[in-house]
Amino acid sequence: MIRQALEFKPNVVVIGKESMYERVKEALDPFDIKVYAGAEAIEQVVEMGTVDVVLVALVGFSGLKPTLSAIEAGKPIALANKETMVVAGELVTKRAKEKGVNIYPVDSEHSAIFQCLAGEFHNPVEKIILTASGGPFRGMDKTALANVSREQALNHPNWKMGCKVTIDSATMMNKGLEVIEAKWLFGLDPSRIEVIVHPQSIIHSLVQFADGSLKAQMGLPDMRLPIQYALTYPDRLVSSFPRFNFTDYPQLTFQKPDPESFRCLALAYLAMEKGGNIPCIMNAADEIAVHAFLRDEISFLQIPELIEQCMNEAVFIKNPTYENLLESDLAARNLAEEIVRKMKA
């Protein structure tokens, strides 16, 4: 973080971990870069008058409060934190509408849908199709998945991502989270959101309109393009990014996902249908399960088992408030930690 700040010279830097404050401040103070620390500072910095747009790229539940703070301050949101919509999609979209705040998707799949809808917002959408690479374990059944390692799960064939997102991709929970995010971003019933496995990751997603026509957004798997599009919409800036060449990809293939072997995708659809605080509980349980797997405390197939148990045992709240979501998140994490301890025993 210090290295990046010295390279780009921002006005302000916020470090979430308060114990790191003195180290960061000492390094950046000679360069007239203001330094703050802690969760509250993260929430407050987005409200600064000099901020034009807030790119939310935090991982997990931690993205929710800063996003809400940015909306309250009337800042446009470029959203790369899908969990914000998973946990509190109704709350976020309602508040954004009330404040007249635009939310621009950064995830490659949702950016693709957004790009396909440009100029089509008045036309009825029949369904959207989110593409999934299938991750490192595409085509494997439960028997084969029983003994996969952390190293294998972290070896994604197409994308370079952090550990949490990479494991979510391997379990297909990442796609499940994206399905829930799409429901709120585009105001669609779950029955109109499909997932298709596309190993090459060239078609990033598709929209099918009421007349049966399909529009797809294509390109190389490079997150710089959807990030740039969200920050510069509605303009497309000239870039030096690598260009797609059809002859390099003579075949683009597609197959149905396997919800039996990759249970997390089915759990996400179930959470979306139940609604209330269940997606929040699912998300919290997933965060604990993934980190337990990364610490070699549970197996790959125990990730969906743990999540499903939390979803079944947690207290259901049909119309949760923000405070309810905070309580549900904490309760689900505690329950998930307890389940991890039992699985280890």
- The verdict on 260 and 280 lying in the same domain is no
- Please state the rounded mean pLDDT for residues 325-340: 96
> Based on the structure, what is the number of domains in the chain?
2
pLDDT digits (tens, 9 = 90+) for 190-241: 999 999 999 999 999 999 999 999 999 999 999 999 999 999 999 999 999 9
**Does residue 207 lie within any of the structural domains?**
yes
Separation of alpha carbons 170 and 56, rounded Å: 23
Domain assignment of residue 241, given as a range: 107-267
**Helix H or strand E encompassing 218:** strand 214-218
State whether residue 302 is helix, strand or coil: helix
pLDDT digits (tens, 9 = 90+) for 161-177: 778 889 999 999 999 99
**Helix H or strand E encompassing 130:** strand 125-132
Give residue 329's pLDDT: 95
Residues linked to residue 193 through DSSP beta bridges, in sequence order: 128
**Does residue 190 lie within any of the structural domains?**
yes
pLDDT digits (tens, 9 = 90+) for 260-310: 999 999 999 999 999 999 999 999 999 999 999 999 999 999 999 999 999
Q: Which of 251, 240, 247 is nearest to 203 (CA)?
A: 251
- The verdict on 172 and 314 lying in the same domain is no
**Does residue 30 lie within any of the structural domains?**
no
**Does residue 74 lie within any of the structural domains?**
no
- Please state the rounded mean pLDDT for residues 100-107: 96
Separation of alpha carbons 193 and 182, rounded Å: 8
- The verdict on 223 and 282 lying in the same domain is no
pLDDT of 159 strictly over 70: no
- Residue where one domain finishes, among candidates 244, 267, 290: 267
* pTM for the predicted model, two decimal places: 0.91
